[in-house]
Structures are given as structure tokens and as C-alpha cells.
């Protein structure tokens, strides 16, 4: 069965990486959420995609230069301001984990440390996962594959998966060098054969970002491990219809 992971929450309909987007994803029947994490200047884990706050908030500057308090004063729905009058806030990973106590969502944490190498991001995330005993509900992904290896050393029970956007030769072999149980490739580089063979080797395949109905249908038909989509509600409805 293909599981549905909401990319930055239900980011096609709500401001990305906000509690509103995660709640909407869960309410639409998605199996889980994907989110991006970085560190503030005072070492707090925050959920935001870009290294700067410029695109998604009413502020400007690098995430790493804000304290948590100053970051949370920003409006996190600036890219959606025509639709949402109510201000959203950049959440911390703790806030997301607290919300997860009341649901069964899986959480795919993308470590956004491929541009800025945040010190100890892996350790901080692992500590929080252990504190909440969420090991079995987590998938850790990153474009920084060394960071995934580090994560696996710190927290061997947590699932990891490399993100990549260029063709890879025998991705199942590459995954095994990282002790990763899955791969998160860009959708357009994955042929049906590549998906099938990778899964036959016991490696889960979760392509991103799957927004078109025809792509969703193809992946559901292949019984692909998961899809990562901005439109979880649309994916859930289509999956129901295809049963």
C-alpha cells in the first residue's frame, strides 16, 4: 500500500511548514507529513524550508541569525497572504511533536543542512525523537547524505532515506552503504522499472513532489512505498477511488 506524506504539510492549500498545514494534512487523511528543520541562533529546532525567512514570512535574513523569540514574531504565511488573514507562526519541532501525541501521523523530517551545516542538528533531533519515543514514527531524510550517516550512528533505530534529484546507478546499493531503508528521489528521474527493482531489493521508494493526478495514479498502481505531495486531500480521494 502506498502511504501519503504531505509535503511541508498540506502546502498546496495552506501556508507551508505551519501547524495549519500539518493539521489540514492529518484531517485530510494523509498518513503523515514531511517538514524541513533548521536551527536558530540560540540552537532551537525550527520548521522552515529556506535558509532565509524572506520568501515565506514578512521578515528578511537568515534563519540561523534569528533567536527563536524573534523568529516566532514573524508572520509565516506571507506567501499565502491573499488567502489567510490570520497570521501563522514558524513552529518548533517540539510543537509538532506535541501535536503528534493526539494522532498517528508519520513524520518525515528533512534535515536542511545541505547549504548551512548546522552543528549538532542530528544530535538535537535524535534527542527529541528519543524523548518522545517517536523512533517508529520517523523517517529522516536529507540532501546531506553524510548527515544521514551520522544520524544512523546516533540513533540506529530510526529510518533514514537520502534525497536526490539526479539519476543514480543502483540506488538500492547506495542506500545500503548509508544503512538507509528508503530513497527519496525527485519524481521525474524515476522510471517504473527503477521503482520496482528498488522495492524488490527491500528499499522503500518515496518520490517527491507528486502533485498531478496522473503521477499519483501511476505510483499507486505500482504500489510505490509512498508519495510526497502538496495535495494530500486530492491523493487520499484518488487512492480511495482506486481501491
Query: What are the residues binding ligand G3P (CB under 6 A)?
Result: 7, 34, 36, 49, 110, 141, 163, 184, 208, 228
Tell me how far apart the alpha carbons of residues 150 and 67 are, in angstroms, rounded to a whole number.
26
Contact (CB, 8 A) for 114 and 184: no
Shortest Å distance, C-beta 186 to Mg ion: 12
Q: Residue 140: count other Cβ atoms within 10 Å of its Cβ.
A: 24
Residue 16 interacts with Mg ion (CB under 5 A): yes or no? no
Closest residue to ligand G3P, judged by C-beta, is 208
Pick what 89 binds: Mg ion, ligand G3P, none; C-beta below 5 to 8 Å, kind-dependent: none
Nearest to ligand G3P of 208, 220 (CB atom): 208
Instruction: Report residue 137 as a C-alpha cell.
Output: 514514527
CA-based end-to-end distance of the chain? 10
Kindly determine how many residues on this chain lie close enough to bind Mg ion according to the rule CB under 5 A: 2
- The DSSP line for 60-71 is -SBGGGS-HHHH
Pick what 163 binds: Mg ion, ligand G3P, none; C-beta below 5 to 8 Å, kind-dependent: ligand G3P
Contact (CB, 8 A) for 156 and 136: no
Q: Segment 34-53, which members bind Mg ion (CB under 5 A)?
A: 36
Shortest Å distance, C-beta 16 to ligand G3P: 9
Pick what 122 binds: Mg ion, ligand G3P, none; C-beta below 5 to 8 Å, kind-dependent: none
Q: Which of 16, 110, 122, 159 binds Mg ion (CB under 5 A)?
A: 110
Q: Is 91 helix (H, G, I), strand (E, B) or coil?
A: coil
- Is 49 catalytic? The answer is yes
Pick what 66 binds: Mg ion, ligand G3P, none; C-beta below 5 to 8 Å, kind-dependent: none
Contact (CB, 8 A) for 125 and 109: yes
Tell me how far apart the alpha carbons of residues 26 and 29 are, in angstroms, rounded to a whole number.
5
- Is 145 catalytic? The answer is no
* Beta-strand pair 226-229/32-39: unpaired
Nearest to ligand G3P of 49, 150 (CB atom): 49
Active site residues: 7, 49
- Enumerate binding residues for Mg ion (CB under 5 A): 36, 110
Amino acid at each position: 500500500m502506498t502511504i501519503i506524506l504531505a509535503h511541508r504539510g498540506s502546502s498546496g492549500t495552506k501556508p507551508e511548514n505551519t501547524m495549519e498545514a500539518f493539521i489540514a494534512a492529518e484531517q485530510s487523511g494523509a498518513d503523515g507529513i514531511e517538514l524541513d528543520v533548521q536551527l536558530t541562533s540560540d540552537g532551537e529546532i525550527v520548521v522552515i524550508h529556506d535558509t532565509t525567512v524572506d520568501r515565506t514570512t514578512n521578515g528578511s535574513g537568515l534563519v540561523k541569525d534569528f533567536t527563536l523569540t524573534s523568529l516566532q514574531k514573524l508572520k509565516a504565511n506571507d506567501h499565502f497572504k491573499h488567502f489567510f488573514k490570520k497570521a501563522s507562526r514558524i513552529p518548533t519541532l517540539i510543537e509538532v511533536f506535541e501535536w503528534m501525541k493526539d494522532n498517528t501521523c508519520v513524520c518525515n523530517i528533512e534535515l536542511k543542512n545541505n547549504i548551512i551545516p548546522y552543528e549538532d542538528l542530528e544530535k538535537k533531533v535524535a534527542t527529541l525523537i528519543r524523548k518522545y519515543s517517536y523512533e517508529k514514527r520517523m523517517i529522516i531524510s536529507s540532501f546531506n547524505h553524510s548527515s544521514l550517516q551520522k544520524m544512523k550512528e546516533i540513533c540506529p533505530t530510526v529510518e533514514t532515506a537520502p534525497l536526490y534529484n539526479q539519476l543514480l546507478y543502483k540506488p538500492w546499493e547506495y542506500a545500503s552503504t548509508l544503512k538507509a531503508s528508503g530513497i527519496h528521489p525527485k519524481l521525474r528521474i524515476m522510471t517504473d522499472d527503477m521503482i520496482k527493482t528498488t522495492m524488490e531489493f527491500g528499499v522503500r521508494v518515496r518520490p517527491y513532489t507528486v502533485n498531478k493526478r496522473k503521477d499519483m495514479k501511476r505510483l499507486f498502481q505500482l504500489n510505490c512505498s509512498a508519495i510526497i505531495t502538496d495535495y494530500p486531500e486530492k491523493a487520499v480521494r484518488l487512492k480511495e477511488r482506486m481501491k
